[in-house]
Structure 1
């Protein structure tokens, strides 16, 4: 039962509602004196609507603006004191896999990946919240100064939800969504390779706004296409107005002058159109029209058919595509088809053996080719052995849909990194697995997902990981390309506060009486492998490189990709250990600052490496 308002009408809001109906373009969102964001009327725009001459006001410029935009940009650029901690027990083939599953806030993840994967990501695909009024978006806090943000990010996160419902009743309905997306896209831009591209799924609710911020972030000149995915395999009869049968996929390149799409393979249906009606030794062919509507000065001659029939010229309003001389060459080479009777209007034979190996990608993708929303739910339910009707994920994407993107934007032979920082059900990782298995590709994936509560005691991250595990097992048990590496594993890394104690970031706050307690600047609950991954991040070393562990002179030593990086975080290190490591001539070596047996050993470390391995970069934590 609805309750009475028990107060007088809000006449101001009533007037705003009336003006909205008459002048919807005058609606905006502004910040009030108390900092609250609410719907309001753009009075300068309204004055212009009611005036017959130009109304003076703020300087006009082409832009998209909203409350929170500047704060989003500021916070996107602010540093965080967090790290990625490895979880071997939840991983699959931890030591050898090149795939990464990162659990945590994707804004933090994008910041942490900045140095390691700067200009290295070949393809990004994201399926963000569509902002339909029922979706959940990230509850970002953009109110702090950069230095405060850095300090707070080193503290243990409080338990609580990072996703909040964004209903249409929210005064900053569009602003919150735009702020969330803007900060993340700004960071994603840095990660894209020069020949990389980003695909973003969206529907009509935020299509225009997303296009505007993408134009700003990636540059309007790098807009490639707005792809229409026909996602429904049958009309939605429960629709209030029209059945929304499609979604959009916005495609932007890092550099449109450099990026080029790969051709898609021809379907069996396309190949079947090629026939060999005259047993031509060059094989099947497709008949092409010799006439076109474009004016051609040499395209108005008469033709005599093999049967002796005379054709005075091309059809009315059209021209032959080639000159008379070129036509005679084609006829002499048996490339002209006159029909079975020999007196039809001529056409040109286009041989399958001579055309390109694929077809140019189009902007319309039918569910028949790339799957529907129903297909996506069915394949997920089957893989997860879920009961009929179980809602594991509301809007999973079909694996075939993402495979189409992989076909367009990546080569099987290249070491392409594919990133999805709204991983959801794990469709992107699944698609990379199946695509590699099919064509022997070397693509690897990075998925990022928040551990938000899902069903019972599971999180979205848990379900996504389980889906990828099962997908890997399924692919390995089937038929796959002989050149595939069979990498169906992934390293689970979780975002956490820094391994370093807070004093590391705020040394000025330490007083003399606290120094004795701060000799060790590393948190007590962190392992050597935790330290290793923070070092990889800080040094910008690939997080998916193979890692081995050896015991040298009684000390545990990590070897990353052979000699790419050597790390020893043990205590009581002697000159003997340092010299043994120097003999290996690694590219980089790192020690614990308080790990040496004496001050003299610590002082001599750099000198030892200068003598024995001058090319090694030496650091400590």
Structure 2
């Protein structure tokens, strides 16, 4: 039986393997610090692979660079020996909910989620620190010795502090911020599906740097837009020269060619009133087929300049002239300026039923029918504009909702639920998974539940928040909230309850998922057996009674295994008793786990009869070595497809 590694993925090894597939000649071997051989990249050879001339020395190229960028990349690639410990007492509907709340450093969280949620997230929204000089940023510049680094993943200073102020007097003002956000975005990209999208709120301080950084991480070709969101209609009085009223939402997709990355908004209000015509298919409006932009003309778009022929009695349109289709029309303006059609000939043939011509004083005009309802009976959508001015998306509404839910304005600038809800509407379908790893006050989770209540969706949300301490002079501290994570969790609890109360008469509202499983990032459940010479002593082996820490529960072990095996953390879990032993069954028989001791062959036989796909035991849980050896034989007879592991 193999042992589970119980450690986050080694991204360096993974990246070398990917390069080896493309450029096998660039992979070599080297000795590591222990003298063992390991794979490495020959960067001189790799550079040559990307050039059709001889490469001599370092070449200049366009890129975003800053002091500490290499260290930030190392930070992203460094594996950690940490885990997520479930916290039932702080959760809501722990056994049934599909939502996740992780308390801890989001860099650790993103590393821990790599196996389980690789290519699984449809939409990410984050509202990172804006680097205004007063904000705190994650301090990933570590000054610890190698032992401490290995144990804590290089994320702590000697005092264990995680946040530092970043005043603009700091010579590393932009560098510190970029070094903080770079590894997090690199890891986040891995989690996005091929049709995934990321929205990032930012202000002017780092907007230009963030755009360049995302160009590098997500690819410049995958940039979609910068949405200007009016959050303060009055403008900031303290600004110099110009009172700023807006912030930016930066939009990137995983793959720009994927049509399902971003969806349009359903039409409503005045846009619906424009659909004032009806035929056998339904309510529609007429939109001119001629392109009104004179930059598009026979010279620039020759394939879109051709004649159409009209049937006088019905207004039907054809590409071919005949005894019925006699009136010829070209895409010219009434004063004779040549433009072009918006459709090519193939589309005219394929969707001819959508075309209609109407007589005007100066001839014919050709229109296409634009129906209000799509083929599924849903209201048609329209492209989202890049300027958002709706009053409900500004900060006043964000503060109002927080105050109504929690009794006081415990957060200074919480985002509006309507803002995040609008982003989710264009970024995630009804059953998709949303991630926010700078959760703050919990607006994204709130917006996800609210939208599900409105459209009957079952979107799921993963929230990550550092337990950043509140200032002792703040409203949050005076209201009893010692850290931001406490605010997040309480806001989500109360928001879920209120949403159900507000929709009590709505059919199926009782099935709305307003719960969340709380996990807290902690050190590994496994005892660290790598000791330096000065830490060793004669009695150490007598003190060491097992490889699992004594303060860890069976449920702690279970979720570390789910992480290690890449199993969804929201999967249903059932407990059963077999021969007096506690057994966890995850997602039916997808995984069975027993961490009790004194496991004998009778128990193993009964468990094997349930034919789980995977099974996990404690390495020291068997009554004898003989039983441990026979486990594989027993499963081979009764459940040959079962994958067996020990911890």
CA contact (8 A) 1:284 1:351 kept: no
Confirm whether residue 102 of structure 1 aligns to residue 128 of structure 2. Answer: no
Q: How does 1:119-198 map to 2 (within 5 A)?
A: 119-142=119-142, 149-153=149-153, 161-198=161-198
Distance, in Å, in 2 between the alignment partners of 1:575 and 1:488 is 43
Residues 224-373 of structure 1 aligned to structure 2 (within 5 Å): 224-260=224-260, 261-276=262-277, 284-289=283-288, 292=292, 293=294, 294-295=296-297, 298=306, 314-316=333-335, 318-319=337-338, 335-337=356-358, 343=361, 347-348=365-366, 351-353=369-371, 357-368=379-390, 371-373=393-395
The secondary structure found in structure 2 opposite 1:224 is strand
Partner SS state of residue 611, structure 1 = helix
Q: CA RMSD in A?
A: 3.6
Residue-pair matches, total: 547
The answer on whether the counterparts of 1:299 and 1:320 sit within 8 Å (CA) in structure 2 is: no
- Following TM superposition, by how much is the alpha carbon of 1:151 offset from its aligned partner in structure 2, in angstroms? 2.3
Does the aligned pair in 2 maintain the 1:503–1:509 contact within 8 Å?
Answer: no
Of 514, 534, 542, the residue aligned with 2:560 is 534
User: What do residues 526-560 of structure 1 show as CA deviations (whole Å, max 9, x unaligned)?
Assistant: 11111111111111111111111111111111111
Question: SS in structure 2 opposite 1:116?
Answer: helix
Distance, in Å, in 2 between the alignment partners of 1:295 and 1:438 is 45
In structure 2, distance between residues paired with 1:588 and 1:112 = 20
The structural deviation recorded for 1:263 is 2.4
Contact 1:590–1:618 (8 Å) recurs in 2: yes
**1:428-450 alpha-carbon deviations (Å, 9 max, x no partner):** 11111112222222221110001
Aligned partners of 1:154 and 1:497 also within 8 Å: no
Whether the aligned pair in 1 keeps the contact of 2:199 and 2:250 (CA below 8 Å) is yes
Question: What's the CA shift for 1:344?
Answer: 7.6
- When normalised by structure 1's length, the TM-score is 0.80
User: Shift of residue 502 of structure 1?
Assistant: 1.8
C-alpha deviation, 1:384, in angstroms = 2.0
The question of 1:477 aligning with 2:478 is answered no
Q: How far has the Cα of 1:286 moved from its partner?
A: 3.4
Change (3 A) 1:211 1:143: farther
What is the CA deviation profile of residues 455-483 of structure 1, one whole-angstrom value per residue up to 9, with x for unaligned ones? Answer: 32421000110111111112222335649
Partner of residue 465, structure 1 = 489
Contact kept, 8 Å, 1:154 with 1:502, in 2: the verdict is no
CA 1:145 to 1:74, structure 2 compared with 1: closer, same or farther past 3 Å? farther
The answer as to whether partners of 1:71 and 1:143 remain within 8 angstroms in 2 is no
- Closer, same or farther in 2 for the Cα pair 1:283/1:575, shift >3 Å? closer
Q: CA deviation at 1:516?
A: 2.1
Provide closer, same or farther for how the CA distance between residues 602 and 305 of structure 1 changes in structure 2, counting only shifts above 3 A: closer
User: Which residue is 2:82 aligned to?
Assistant: 82
Write the distance in 2 (CA, Å) between the matches of 1:231 and 1:344. Answer: 48
Contact 1:233 1:374 in 2 (8 A): no
Which one is further off, 154-163 or 290-299?
154-163
Conserved 8 A contact 1:403-1:435: yes
Instruction: List per-residue Cα deviations over 1:291-322 (Å, max 9, x = no partner).
Output: 5334355569999999xxxx998332634766
SS in 2 for 1:65: coil
Give the Cα–Cα distance (whole angstroms) in 1 for the partners of residues 225 and 113 of structure 2: 27
Residues 559-590 of structure 1: CA deviation (Å, up to 9, x unaligned): 11111111111111221111111111101111
Contact 1:265 1:358 survives alignment (8 Å): yes
Map Cα deviations across residues 365-390 of structure 1 (whole Å, 9 max, x no partner). 4231761111111122222232xxx3
Equivalent in the alignment of 1:594:
620
Among 576, 581, 587, the residue aligned to 2:607: 581
Instruction: Kindly indicate whether residue 547 of structure 2 is the aligned counterpart of residue 521 of structure 1.
Output: yes
Q: Which residue of 2 aligns with 1:441?
A: 457
CA 1:605–1:305: 2 relative to 1, 3 Å: closer
For the residues of structure 2 that align with 1:156 and 1:234, how far apart are their CA atoms? 41
> Tell me, what secondary structure is at the counterpart of 1:494?
strand
Is residue 615 of structure 1 aligned with residue 638 of structure 2? no
Cα deviation code 1:336-376 (max 9, x no counterpart): 455xxx74876555545377553343342423176111111
C-alpha spacing 1:320/1:535, structure 2 compared with 1 (3 Å): closer
CA gap of 1:521–1:274, structure 2 versus 1, over 3 A, is: same
1:133 Cα deviation from its structure 2 partner:
1.5
Q: CA distance change for structure 1 residues 619 and 289 in 2, over 3 Å: closer, same or farther?
A: closer
1:615 Cα deviation (Å)?
0.9
Cα pair 1:253 1:259 within 8 Å, conserved: no
Q: Deviations over 1:379-405 (max 9, x none)?
A: 22222232xxx3x11221112222222
SS at match of 1:128: coil
Q: 1:409 aligns with which of 427, 444, 451?
A: 427
Counterpart in 1 of 2:45? Answer: none
In 1, Cα distance between the equivalents of 2:525 and 2:460?
Answer: 27
- What is the distance in 2 between the residues matched to 1:374 and 1:60? 48
- Matched with 1:12 is none
> How many angstroms apart in 2 are the aligned matches of 1:98 and 1:615?
28
CA distance in 1 between counterparts of 2:550 and 2:366 reads 77
Alpha-carbon distance in structure 1 between the residues aligned to 2:384 and 2:547: 56
Q: TM-score, normalised by structure 2?
A: 0.77
